[in-house]
């Protein structure tokens, strides 16, 4: 069959599902997931069932971010929202491939023999990785780059091969497109040397023009990846042991090839539809019209397997749109599929390149305006209509700050002089006042228009990027539009005069960041001075502003090197009880004792002291969530006695009570771990000693992993460091907690010193600019210009403040003192640690403890009084006496 174009069967509106309709989706990829999720959210109570048949064993996952797997090596971290599968109407089948469709019987038969009956069938089978014909291309060691299985076996092969050969593994990537470059970067991350072979005369030949391709070649070569363009691979020869060993190229040359990755394009997986007799496009793919219905009125096709206007799209945005169209029509809607201007952005490679629209100026009389700077590795080009007013396309390599702003403007008036827009000085300033039209698609992944975002800001009360993401889904897939979203948000807020109050409380009209700056400039050193200079009037503050001011004064005191006493006499009265008594209050009013254990290291000698102290007071002992040991249940008056013994044994405060660095967690690293490639323990210990005690807007957690296996879970930390063969990769803005966030890659391949300098800069920026009690994850998320701008400020030092920030951090480190050592040696402060000021020898007699799993816990009202004890020690002694009694009986 040879049909292209729209299906004549496309109805004006979808026919709503009759009750009890059985929907079957073939394909458990991103589009199939999107369709299921859409059906669920658009029709939460409808009477239908939906079965998604997935061939892969994994739950549907984020294939767009497949290369992220190398960062964490956990397939489940790529999983798409699994909440969909909790809907009892929706069933997910994994690990069973659909083999055939019987259109007359309305059944799908799977490889396992299972037969699924359908009333409506949706094909979402995606594509397969095509590889050119070449002798030896199926030798062991040859891979595609499309599924989690692919990347898992690729990683295993490189590791095995390295061990078998006893030398660096040499890899060849066939294909220099977006995926090929991702694969080459992945090979490099795995410790292999890689060469990209591209048949066309430039990299990303489909998306970029000649100039952009050339700049990209320079940037890729800068990363140590070799590039060969204008040649193809003709044959592969085995090594002595039969695995792949050598690649022969069309120009007669040879390349060593211990591993080969093919990334030479995709083809629609249309076999099932083809064999079932559906209309198939000239270049493959199931033919659909704008309703996404196929030539069979009971079958729809979405995503990469569907041919629309003769083209099978290879990007997620049109796939998502098609899924949305079919869901809408199943529920009686009239939505139609449109192909927008999607653009392409290179990601996961550490090199910036992006392009959209008519990159090669094929439109008659189109004008090209370009800026080329090979020294700084930058290339920018705009393609304009013949009168230089309408934007037709753009290419950005090396610096893609303009991409997300300009892409939605394709086909519209640019509203500025194109050469000014791409000029190196203040690039983009020419567009500062420009407004995006309502119908311009700002997030192409989820097809969200500027108008929808405006509506969310003005009508739905979304005044933060986080709220906009939640409400509109814009910016939640690839994230490249976040800078534009931020700009749009700020424009709308300014326009409608909505002021988002960041005022701390009734005592201060300023946000925390503003107050920090004012105090830094004003030099106030006490709460009285701060409230007099910057407060709203009379008053002595509250539980919000007092700790905030204490934190600001502490941070500034340490960073200026003037005073390092966040909890001492001066600021003590401003602090919550936790900071005031340097311990965390527990539910019964007693406290925890958690010494620092940098990198989780502790000597047996120190551990013995810790154990003896805990035993002497009968305290509950537990390893907490921050890789440290804590004891719990200490009364106020016991804290200095306990700490005096710990300090003497060499322990320091772990600041578990402070809005400050909590810990630097690490795996074992190269000293002990057979997989380690970096000494994560030494680095973690060093970082913890550098940043310990630093007061910040909220707590800070750091993780250091010694290899890409990421055992320290660094990407869930505020600052995450992961060792590779080429140095340290630095991630920022991760978070566990109630709103988990993945840390984002800030910069790669750092040496020890540069890593520390980058973290210095990041932490001080955070301390300066974050809102009260704002973790780094939200701060990074809301940072104007996003992670790209943060990278410019921190890595490229675009504001020229890098050295100043490092010097400030050095002052903090140089003047650090252990708070508990200071307190236990200060008799006047020690005297304050009493339960009752008029009865220093007594304590709270209402406290009661019971035993559970051989340790104490505070008693609850329902515990029988005879099972409770007045102190942890009494409970423990009773337990030990009981044990002795029993063992005597045994004898």
Binding site for other proteins (CB under 8 A): 506-507, 537-543, 545-547, 572-574, 576-578, 580-581, 585, 587-589, 832, 835-839, 842, 844-846
**711 marked among binding-site residues:** yes
Backbone phi and psi for residue 643, each to the nearest 5 degrees, phi listed first: -70, -30
Whole-number minimum distance, CB 528 to other proteins, in Å? 8
- The residue among 469 and 635 lying less far from other proteins, judged by its C-beta, is 635
In whole angstroms, what is the distance from residue 848 CA to residue 715 CA? 41
Find all residues with CB under 8 Å of 634, minimum gap 6, and list them.
583, 590, 591, 592, 593, 617, 619, 642
Whole-number minimum distance, CB 633 to other proteins, in Å? 13
- The residue among 846 and 891 lying less far from other proteins, judged by its C-beta, is 846
- The residue among 322 and 656 lying less far from other proteins, judged by its C-beta, is 656
Whole-number minimum distance, CB 227 to other proteins, in Å? 59
Whole-number minimum distance, CB 810 to other proteins, in Å? 33
Whole-number minimum distance, CB 544 to other proteins, in Å? 9
DSSP state letters, 332-380: T-----------EE--SSS--EEEEE-TT--STT-EEEEEEETTTTEEE
The candidate with the shortest Cα–Cα distance to 482, out of 300, 744, 302, 275, is 744
- The residue among 547 and 733 lying less far from other proteins, judged by its C-beta, is 547
CB 823 within 8 Å of CB 829: yes
Residue with the two structure tokens 């710990």? 646
How far is C-alpha 568 from the chain's CA centre? 38
Which pair of tokens denotes residue 511?
Answer: 């946000």
DSSP state letters, 857-873: EE--TTS-GGG-BSSHH
Both ends of the chain: CA-CA distance in Å? 90
The number of beta carbons lying within 10 Å of the beta carbon of residue 323 is 28
In 3-state terms the chain splits into helix, strand, coil percentages (rounded to 5) of: 35, 20, 45
- The residue among 119 and 771 lying less far from other proteins, judged by its C-beta, is 771
| Per-residue CA distances from 10 to 16, 26, 125, 208, 338 (Å) | 14, 21, 21, 35, 14
The candidate with the shortest Cα–Cα distance to 663, out of 629, 638, 626, is 626
In whole angstroms, what is the distance from residue 262 CA to residue 274 CA? 26
Whole-number minimum distance, CB 665 to other proteins, in Å? 28
- The residue among 321 and 819 lying less far from other proteins, judged by its C-beta, is 819
Quick one: DSSP state of residue 82? G
Backbone phi and psi for residue 489, each to the nearest 5 degrees, phi listed first: -60, -50
Whole-number minimum distance, CB 839 to other proteins, in Å? 5
How far is C-alpha 698 from the chain's CA centre? 19
Q: Is 534 helix (H, G, I), strand (E, B) or coil?
A: helix
Whole-number minimum distance, CB 585 to other proteins, in Å? 6
- The residue among 431 and 636 lying less far from other proteins, judged by its C-beta, is 636
Find all residues with CB under 8 Å of 621, minimum gap 6, and list them.
611, 614, 629, 630, 631, 632, 855
Q: Is 122 helix (H, G, I), strand (E, B) or coil?
A: strand
In whole angstroms, what is the distance from residue 696 CA to residue 700 CA? 8
In whole angstroms, what is the distance from residue 777 CA to residue 775 CA? 5
- The residue among 473 and 577 lying less far from other proteins, judged by its C-beta, is 577
Residue with the two structure tokens 């470059």? 181
- The residue among 533 and 883 lying less far from other proteins, judged by its C-beta, is 533
- The residue among 228 and 655 lying less far from other proteins, judged by its C-beta, is 655
Residue 44 buriedness (CB in 10 A; 0-12 / 13-18 / 19+): exposed
- The residue among 587 and 674 lying less far from other proteins, judged by its C-beta, is 587
Whole-number minimum distance, CB 533 to other proteins, in Å? 17
- The residue among 577 and 813 lying less far from other proteins, judged by its C-beta, is 577
CB 413 within 8 Å of CB 434: no
In whole angstroms, what is the distance from residue 500 CA to residue 507 CA? 17
Whole-number minimum distance, CB 838 to other proteins, in Å? 5
Whole-number minimum distance, CB 701 to other proteins, in Å? 23
- The residue among 180 and 541 lying less far from other proteins, judged by its C-beta, is 541
Find all residues with CB under 8 Å of 862, minimum gap 6, and list them.
none
**667 marked among binding-site residues:** yes
**673 marked among binding-site residues:** yes
In whole angstroms, what is the distance from residue 417 CA to residue 428 CA? 11
- The residue among 738 and 839 lying less far from other proteins, judged by its C-beta, is 839
Whole-number minimum distance, CB 338 to other proteins, in Å? 46
In whole angstroms, what is the distance from residue 291 CA to residue 299 CA? 11
Whole-number minimum distance, CB 588 to other proteins, in Å? 5
- The residue among 541 and 566 lying less far from other proteins, judged by its C-beta, is 541
Would you say how long the chain is, in residues? Answer: 891
CB 194 within 8 Å of CB 171: yes
Whole-number minimum distance, CB 773 to other proteins, in Å? 12
- DSSP element (H, E) containing 162: helix 148-165
β-strands 629-634, 591-593: how paired?
Answer: antiparallel
Whole-number minimum distance, CB 523 to other proteins, in Å? 22
Backbone phi and psi for residue 889, each to the nearest 5 degrees, phi listed first: -60, -40
Quick one: DSSP state of residue 615? H
| Binding site per annotation, positions | 667, 673, 707, 711
| Binding site per annotation, positions for siroheme | 711
| Binding site per annotation, positions for [4Fe-4S] cluster | 667, 673, 707, 711
């Amino acid at each position: 069959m040879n049909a292209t174009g729209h299906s004549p069967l496309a109805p004006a509106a979808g026919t709503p599902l009759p009750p009890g309709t059985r929907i079957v989706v073939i394909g458990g990829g991103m589009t199939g997931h999107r369709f299921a999720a859409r059906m669920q959210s658009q029709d939460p109570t409808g009477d239908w069932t939906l079965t998604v048949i997935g061939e892969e064993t994994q739950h549907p996952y984020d294939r767009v971010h497949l290369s992220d797997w190398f960062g964490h090596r956990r397939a489940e971290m790529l999983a798409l929202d699994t909440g969909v599968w909790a809907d009892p109407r929706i069933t997910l089948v994994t690990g069973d491939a659909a083999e055939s469709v019987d259109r007359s019987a309305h059944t799908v038969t799977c490889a396992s023999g299972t037969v699924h009956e359908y009333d409506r069938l949706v094909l979402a089978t995606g594509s397969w990785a095509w590889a050119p014909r070449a002798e030896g291309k199926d030798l062991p060691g040859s891979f595609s780059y499309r599924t989690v299985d692919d990347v898992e076996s690729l990683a295993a092969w490189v590791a095995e091969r390295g061990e078998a050969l006893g030398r660096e593994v040499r890899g060849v990537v066939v294909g220099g497109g977006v995926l090929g470059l991702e694969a080459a970067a992945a090979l490099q991350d795995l410790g292999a040397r890689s060469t990209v072979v591209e048949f066309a005369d430039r990299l990303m030949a489909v998306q970029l023009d000649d100039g952009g391709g050339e700049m990209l070649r320079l940037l890729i070569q800068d990363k140590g990846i070799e590039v060969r363009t204008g040649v193809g691979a003709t044959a592969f020869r085995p090594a002595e042991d039969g695995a792949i060993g050598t690649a022969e190229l069309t120009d007669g040359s040879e390349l060593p090839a211990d591993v080969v990755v093919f990334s030479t394009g995709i083809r629609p997986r249309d076999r099932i539809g083809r064999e079932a007799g559906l209309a198939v496009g000239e270049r493959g793919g199931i033919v659909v019209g704008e309703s996404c219905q196929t030539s069979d009125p009971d079958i729809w096709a979405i995503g990469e397997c569907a041919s629309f206007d003769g083209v099978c799209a290879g990007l997620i945005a049109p796939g998502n749109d098609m899924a949305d169209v079919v869901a809408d029509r199943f529920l009686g809607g009239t939505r139609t599929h449109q192909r927008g201007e999607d653009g392409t952005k290179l990601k996961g490679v550490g090199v910036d390149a992006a392009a959209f629209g008519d990159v090669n100026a094929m439109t008659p009389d189109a004008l090209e305006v370009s800026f080329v700077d090979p020294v700084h590795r930058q290339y920018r080009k705009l393609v304009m209509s013949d009168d230089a007013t309408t934007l037709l396309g753009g290419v950005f390599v090396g610096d893609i700050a303009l991409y997300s702003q300009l892409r939605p403007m394709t086909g519209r008036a640019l509203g500025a002089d194109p050469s000014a827009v791409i000029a190196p000085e203040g690039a983009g300033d020419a567009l500062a006042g420009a407004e995006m039209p309502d119908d311009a698609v700002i997030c192409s992944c989820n097809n969200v228009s500027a108008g929808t975002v405006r509506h969310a800001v003005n009508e739905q009360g979304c005044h933060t990027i986080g709220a906009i993401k939640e409400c509109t889904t814009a910016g939640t897939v690839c994230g490249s539009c976040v800078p534009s979203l931020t700009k749009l948000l700020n424009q709308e807020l300014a326009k409608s005069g909505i002021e988002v109050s960041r005022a701390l409380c009734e005592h201060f009209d300023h946000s925390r960041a503003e107050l920090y700056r004012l105090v830094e400039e004003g030099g106030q050193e006490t709460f009285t001075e701060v409230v007099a200079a910057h407060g709203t009037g009379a008053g002595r503050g509250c539980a919000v502003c007092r700790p905030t001011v204490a934190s600001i004064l502490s941070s500034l005191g340490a960073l200026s090197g003037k005073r390092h006493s966040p909890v001492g006499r001066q600021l003590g009265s401003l602090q919550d009880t936790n900071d005031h008594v340097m311990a965390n209050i527990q539910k019964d009013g007693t406290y925890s004792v958690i010494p620092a254990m940098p990198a989780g290291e502790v000597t047996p000698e120190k551990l013995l002291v810790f154990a003896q102290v805990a035993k002497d007071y009968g305290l509950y002992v537990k390893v907490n969530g921050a890789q440290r040991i804590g004891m719990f249940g200490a009364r106020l008056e016991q804290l200095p006695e306990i700490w005096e013994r710990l300090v003497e044994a060499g322990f320091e405060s772990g600041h578990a009570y402070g809005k400050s660095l909590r810990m630097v967690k690490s795996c074992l690293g190269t000293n002990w771990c057979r997989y380690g490639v970096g000494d994560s323990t030494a680095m973690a210990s060093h970082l913890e000693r550098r940043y310990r005690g630093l007061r910040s807007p909220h707590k800070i957690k750091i993780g250091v992993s010694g290899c890409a296996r990421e055992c320290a879970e660094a990407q869930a930390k505020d600052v995450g460091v992961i060792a590779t063969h080429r140095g340290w990769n630095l991630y920022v803005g991760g978070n566990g907690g109630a709103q988990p966030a993945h840390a984002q890659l800030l910069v790669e391949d750092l040496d020890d010193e540069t890593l520390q300098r980058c973290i210095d800069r990041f932490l001080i920026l955070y301390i300066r600019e974050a809102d009260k009690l704002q973790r780094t994850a939200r701060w990074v998320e809301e940072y104007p210009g996003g992670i790209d701008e943060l990278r410019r400020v921190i890595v490229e030092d675009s504001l020229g403040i890098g050295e100043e920030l490092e010097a400030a951090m050095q002052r903090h480190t140089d003047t650090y003192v252990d708070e508990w050592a200071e307190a236990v040696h200060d008799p006047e402060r020690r005297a304050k640690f009493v339960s009752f000021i008029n009865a220093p020898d007594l304590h709270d007699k209402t406290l009661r403890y019971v035993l559970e799993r051989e340790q104490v816990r505070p008693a609850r009202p329902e515990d029988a009084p005879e099972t409770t004890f007045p102190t942890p020690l009494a409970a423990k002694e009773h337990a030990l006496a009981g044990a002795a009694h029993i063992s005597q009986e045994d004898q």
